[in-house]
Amino acid sequence: MSLELKWISLCLALVAGEALGFGADRFALAWPVVSAAAAVVLLAGYGLSLRFWPFAFAFVAGAALALFASASRMEVLDEIQVLNGGRPCRGVFEIGYDVCERKDGRGARHASFAGDLRGIPVRVEMAVCGDAECPRQGETWELVGWLGRRDGLFGGWRRTFWVRGRGSSARRIATDGEPALAAVRRDFSRRVGLGLGHEPEVADLNRAMLLGERSRIAPETRRAFVDAGTVHVFAISGLHVLFVAKIFSTLLALAFVPRRIAGLVLVPLLWTYVALVGSGPSAVRAATMATVCCLSPLFWRRSNGFVAWSIAFVITYVRAPEMVFDVGCGLSFAVMFAIVAWVRWSKGVRLDSACSLGIPAIAWLAGVPMAAHVFGRITPGGLVANLFAVPMAEAGVTAGSLGLMASYFSEPLAVHLNNLSALATGSLAGLSRFVASQGWSSRPVRPWSIPECIAWYVAMVLALLAARAVILRRRRRL
């Protein structure tokens, strides 16, 4: 069994164990017994040098993690029911990067963000009265509201904390001042908009693409990106981490930093960027993969995309077993895996020139089952639009990043670079509006079942293997 296949099998065993654990949550209090069984498997397998003991250990450990998570959440829910006796719950929330503001059909203002209520991950839905301020990143709020107990997708632990109606309240708790990262981010946001005062909408697109400030995008523009299947370019994810890594790598090469130790400089820069843009889950996963790949030369090893993907996968699902129910997390890993597989496939058949061109298409193909399963929609327009959207996004991020750096020593140069970035993002917006206006760009479908999604991925793998066999056979004949 190859190294890549061993790592991938380990990931599958872990997530299978977690799925089994959550499915058997009625036995959640037995998690210490299952943990002890995992320790026995570890010691016996390693001591007896059994062939498949790592996979058995990953499976049992995954089940133990899921049972422990289930027991912890059941305990907290029971505590809330007993202590509050039907009254609203009180909680203190640290406001993160993902605050969304909106107005309903009657003009009432609402805010929502991710939070943690006594150990339970929740989505806070908060009514904002009159001209009161919405929560901002870095602030701490004391909220009184109602915990929604609806189960989420696949029965996962999805909870909503409603701060509205009778008995609810919201109060900002005084802090020691604005966090340093928030102040730096606000300064970056100003610099990204230099020279774009005449095009505020395009400046907001630049900020969204480079810094993840998506709340600035107008609703009609956001809808066009969604219908065109290009909205992912504004979610700080592996795509943006890849672009920023390429920029830093080029600058380090120009500074004659040896490749073997370049990772020691590149990795802190990447994680600083991820922290500045809010440490979103997709960005953290991508940065983890990049860290493994960049530090490999330091230990005299070649970087391996599948191993890096597997390490990020294991860290994510060990740290938060409930992510097994998170469709967004699954989509992110499926797309990253498809891209890594495509790069390996194209190099295997010596089609390096087609590698970059095929990445948008393979990423779209990997995302089709998730979109069909969750949203009941397929965006054929995204297959066409992303062939141009990804290069446009790379150009926009590159020019915007260079403009941000240039703003510290030459504001006129920063203005020119920001306008180049605006040209790319403006073209991307125009392309998305055009594709979205076509009737075939977004089609509703019957939501796919899990077996149908699995069949799609199996078909993708078989198609790549068949194409590889055909190409290699023809080359042998020549």
How does DSSP assign 305-337, residue by residue? HHHHHHHHHHHHHHH-GGGGG-HHHHHHHHHHH
Q: Which residues contact 120 (CB under 8 A, 6 or more apart)?
A: 73, 76, 77, 147, 157, 159
**Contact between 294 and 266 (Cβ < 8 Å):** yes
Amino acid letter, 179: P
The answer to the question of residue 274 being in a domain is yes
- Per residue in 341-373, pLDDT (tens digit) is 888 777 766 666 666 667 777 878 887 887 787
Whether 68 and 110 map to the same domain: the answer is no
Q: How many CB atoms lie within 10 A of CB 243?
A: 21
- Per residue in 180-208, pLDDT (tens digit) is 667 787 888 888 888 888 878 888 888 88
**Contact between 117 and 147 (Cβ < 8 Å):** yes
Domain end (from 115, 148, 173):
173
Whether 238 and 210 map to the same domain: the answer is yes
Domain end (from 139, 173, 207):
173
- Per residue in 22-46, pLDDT (tens digit) is 888 788 888 889 899 989 988 888 8
Whether 468 and 379 map to the same domain: the answer is yes
Which 3-state string (H, E, C) describes 76-121?
A: HHHHHHHHHCCCCEEEEEECCCCCEEEECCCCCEEEEEEEEECCEE
- Per residue in 322-341, pLDDT (tens digit) is 778 777 777 778 888 888 88
Domain end (from 51, 84, 117):
84
Whether 408 and 345 map to the same domain: the answer is yes
In DSSP notation, 240-309 reads HHHHHHHHHHHHHHHTT--HHHHHHHHHHHHHHHHHHTT--HHHHHHHHHHHHHHHGGGGT----HHHHH
Whether 378 and 311 map to the same domain: the answer is yes
CATH number for the domain including 99?
2.40.50.140
The answer to the question of residue 178 being in a domain is no
Whether 138 and 245 map to the same domain: the answer is no
438 DSSP 8-state letter: S
Whether 146 and 217 map to the same domain: the answer is no
Q: How many CB atoms lie within 10 A of CB 223?
A: 15
CA distance 127 to 32: 42
- Per residue in 287-297, pLDDT (tens digit) is 888 888 888 87
The answer to the question of residue 36 being in a domain is yes
The residue ranking higher by pLDDT, 130 or 13, is: 13
Whether 212 and 309 map to the same domain: the answer is yes
pLDDT number for residue 447: 82
Whether 138 and 213 map to the same domain: the answer is no
The answer to the question of residue 250 being in a domain is yes
Q: Is the pLDDT of residue 84 over 60?
A: no
Express the helix, strand and coil content of the chain in percent, nearest 5 each: 65, 10, 20
The answer to the question of residue 392 being in a domain is yes
* 13: containing domain: 3-84
Q: How many DSSP H helices and E strands does the chain contain?
A: 15, 9
The answer to the question of residue 408 being in a domain is yes
Mean pLDDT, the chain, integer = 80
SS3 166: coil
CA distance 382 to 388: 10
- What value does the mean pLDDT take over residues 303-325? 85
Q: Is the pLDDT of residue 301 over 70?
A: yes
Whether 19 and 78 map to the same domain: the answer is yes
Strand pairing partners for 110? 102, 127
Whether 102 and 80 map to the same domain: the answer is no
SS3 114: strand
- Per residue in 231-261, pLDDT (tens digit) is 777 766 777 788 888 888 888 888 888 877 8
**Contact between 112 and 93 (Cβ < 8 Å):** no
Instruction: Count how many domains the chain has.
Output: 3
CA distance 450 to 40: 34
Whether 146 and 270 map to the same domain: the answer is no
